[in-house]
Amino acid sequence: MVEKEVEKNIEALLEERREFEAPEEFAANANANEASIYDDAAADPEAFWASQAERLDWFEPWDTVLEQDPPFHKWFTGGKLNASHNCLDRHLDSNGDRVAYHWVGEPGETKDVTYKDLHEEVCRLANSLKDLGIAKGDRVAIYMPMIPELPAAMLACARIGAPHSVVFGGFSAESLRDRINDAAAKVLITADGSYRKGNVVPLKANADEALQDTPSVEKVVVVARTGEDVSMTEGRDLVYSEVVEAASPDCPAEPMDAEDMLYILYTSGTTGKPKGIVHTTGGYLTGVSSTHNLIFDIKPDTDVYWCAADIGWVTGHSYIVYGPLANGCTSVLYEGAPDHPDKDRWWSIVEQYGVTILYTAPTAIRSCMKWGTDFPAKHDLSSLRLLGSVGEPINPEAWIWYQEFIGAGKAPVVDTWWQTETGQICISPLPGITTLKPGSATKAFPGVFADVVDEAGEAVGRGGGGYLVLRKPVPAMFRTIFGDEKRYVETYFEKFGNDTYFPGDGAKLDDDGYFWLLGRVDDVMNIAGHRISTYEVESALVDHKSVAEAAVVGRVDPKEGETIVAFVTPKEDKEGDDALMEELREHVAKVIGKLARPHSIVFTEDLPKTRSGKIMRRLLRDVATGQELGDVSTLQNAPILEEIKAKAESQQGDDE
Ligand code: 7RM
């Protein structure tokens, strides 16, 4: 009886939401507006991906679209191309004066960089790298702020066939050191510092600390961003502007094999040192440019596109640099924080440049919800015609808020599921075709074979829940973990066999075959034999009018089994008191069922988050179970954890 009630109310929470059909005018002009694209791609996926690859410039055509030796796969073998050529040179004749990036510095300066400007900078820097001894195949580490020199550095590497390894500017010296050493990078490109919330982040000082223990690095190129004094090591460190000015602007793009490495990007696994995710050239560029074109409905002549992620994450690699530039579109590149100098910074940028497409993360959307609607309301956001979300499940309330208060109720919201490993979006609506359901990433992109399976790897079918899998590789999918093929096979293919990629996410299929991502499988709780995802409880909590943000974990007790602990940030004007605690427990009981009612609720000003904004549930689980805290080095706000811990402990005392 109880179980039935839970089941029904989970369904009610997730499904009793409005559905949104593609707006007629949008559909009429959409890049993807024939539903047959799905069936055609399913019938012959290789023909579909080949047609997408043909949108690129190839120096030599490929022989075979896909060669598989599961779990290994190669795309467009025999083909030759260059990513930098595809992102720059081929646009020059017709669109050289088009703006590639409207750059906005956090302190307020702006700069428009055209395709011609970027091409020249890239060619000069590529020649400088050659002068510094970088040859095809050598790795270059990049540790930079969100300034135009960052995409330029990536493309300069791509131009000469040197794989780059971008390390997010928020990472510590130690993280930088480990990544440089794992890739054995020969050159580091960095900056004196960067601006964040009005402060200077000392990138060069961090780099110097890292460089004490990185034997592979021979030269360091330093961009003067802040102009502050930094120490320069004679014979090793060079000034970026001097190096670039001295170099020739003439640098032919190296013809690369489709399967040559384009870059390494490190991502944390559940255990052990970060994994160096390896992406190659032809498939990657095909995957990111095609998804960018069809999902974001890019009209290069008129759109101003803004992906508000950091280039240091895969979202920035694929959807700030390679996808948008391959499609010849104009982007915004913003250096700083969304609330500096005030909480309307993003909306003033949207207004200033007439941004038409905005792509961001649920955590950012929830921050904006917390700050209130006055900030977006101060600005004319009517240019926005399409909104995107990525990074974690977006709860229906945040989805609706985004559509309503940022998209004026008219802009479709595309919730895009993918990973560092997949390189490209895999599950997402096509905004001119797909009927949207708030909270669902909807359907697999054409040519992508996503499914939901049970523990034995059997398809659960519509209405079922289990593990998300991909039954065929996508072109932009990673090829291996740098230097650790064994870990590649074990992490992703041990569970269901070499033909089935396991991304580590749980998902449900609803009766229409829509995907509902439920978070990492290690975040699924088992409450009295019933699977309830932390996300479902979080969604119910955030659904309450007094809640800004919530994270939920399972506390395993040998006697009681698993119970639910919620960490809740109330909205700014709300008090996290006993009355609210009781109200929230009742609220969750009402929307999901008594079984899903949190056993305890800890109120906190903030939740522990990684620098990319993901809530670290693992650490909250440690707090909830009273265990020693795990690794906190990737947190952006580590001190909050001690506060939460102290509160949780005093509350637990109250319980007993
Ligand atoms: C792009 C990115 C990947 C993990 C992935 C999921 C989660 C990402 C969504 C999502 C639900 C989404 N790369 N995730 N997008 N969950 N809906 N639209 O975030 O490598 O940093 O993270 O993020 O758990 O496995 S990532």
- Pick from 254, 276, 309: which residue ends a domain? 254
Provide the pLDDT for residue 4.
47
Please indicate, yes or no, if residue 328 is contained in any of the structural domains.
no
pLDDT for 253-310, tens place per residue?
999 999 999 999 998 654 556 789 999 999 999 999 999 999 999 999 999 999 999 9
Please indicate, yes or no, if residue 10 is contained in any of the structural domains.
no
Atom of ligand 1 at shortest range from CA of 421: 20
**Which CA distances in Å does 386 have to 144, 357, 646?**
29, 5, 43
Provide the pLDDT for residue 558.
60
Q: Is the CB of 520 under 6 A from ligand 1?
A: yes
Please indicate, yes or no, if residue 188 is contained in any of the structural domains.
yes
Rounded Cα distance, 154 and 142, in Å? 8
Please indicate, yes or no, if residue 243 is contained in any of the structural domains.
yes
**Residue nearest atom 16 of ligand 1, based on CA coordinates:** 392
- Please give the single-letter amino acid code of residue 565: V
Please indicate, yes or no, if residue 47 is contained in any of the structural domains.
no
- Please give the single-letter amino acid code of residue 292: H
- Pick from 235, 254, 273: which residue ends a domain? 254
Please indicate, yes or no, if residue 99 is contained in any of the structural domains.
no
Report strand pairing: 275-280 vs 261-267: antiparallel
392 CA to middle of ligand 1, Å?
5
Other beta carbons within 10 angstroms of residue 405's beta carbon come to: 18
Please indicate, yes or no, if residue 512 is contained in any of the structural domains.
no
Q: Give the closest residue to 423 by CA, choosing from 281, 326, 296, 257.
A: 281
Residue 463 DSSP label: T
Mean pLDDT by 10 residues, the chain (656 residues): 42 60 94 97 98 98 98 98 98 98 98 98 98 98 98 98 94 85 98 95 95 98 97 98 98 98 83 82 98 98 97 96 98 96 98 98 88 95 97 86 92 96 98 95 98 96 95 98 96 96 93 89 64 79 93 76 89 91 91 82 91 84 84 81 85 55
Q: What is the CATH number of the domain that holds 565?
A: 3.30.300.30
Q: Is the CB of 392 under 6 A from ligand 1?
A: yes
295 CA to middle of ligand 1, Å?
17
Provide the pLDDT for residue 530.
59
Q: Can you give the residue range of the structural domain that contains 638?
A: 528-649
pLDDT for 28-78, tens place per residue?
999 999 999 999 999 999 999 999 999 999 999 999 999 999 999 999 999
Count of domains for the chain? 2
How many Cα atoms occupy the beta-carbon half-sphere of 307 within 13 Å?
28
pLDDT for 179-208, tens place per residue?
999 999 999 999 999 999 999 999 999 999
Q: Is the CB of 505 under 6 A from ligand 1?
A: yes
437 CA to middle of ligand 1, Å?
18
Please indicate, yes or no, if residue 321 is contained in any of the structural domains.
no
* Mutation pick for ligand 1 pocket among 166, 266, 419 (CB with most ligand atoms within 8 Å): 419
239 CA to middle of ligand 1, Å?
37
Atom of ligand 1 at shortest range from CA of 417: 18
How many Cα atoms occupy the beta-carbon half-sphere of 99 within 13 Å?
16
106 CA to middle of ligand 1, Å?
27
- Pick from 202, 231, 254: which residue ends a domain? 254
Alpha-helix runs per DSSP H in 357-434: 362-371, 374-377, 396-401
**Residue nearest atom 13 of ligand 1, based on CA coordinates:** 419
Provide the pLDDT for residue 654.
53
| Residues belonging to the chain | 656
Rounded Cα distance, 151 and 320, in Å? 9
Rounded Cα distance, 630 and 649, in Å? 17
For the chain, report the end-to-end CA distance as a whole number of angstroms. Answer: 30
Q: Is the CB of 517 under 6 A from ligand 1?
A: yes
- Contact of 285 with 327, CB cutoff 8 Å: no
- Residue in the structure block whose two tokens are 């009886």: 1
Q: Give the closest residue to 140 by CA, choosing from 243, 219, 245, 205.
A: 219
Q: What is the CATH number of the domain that holds 159?
A: 3.40.50.980
Provide the pLDDT for residue 256.
98
Per-chain mean pLDDT for the chain: 91
**Residue nearest atom 19 of ligand 1, based on CA coordinates:** 391
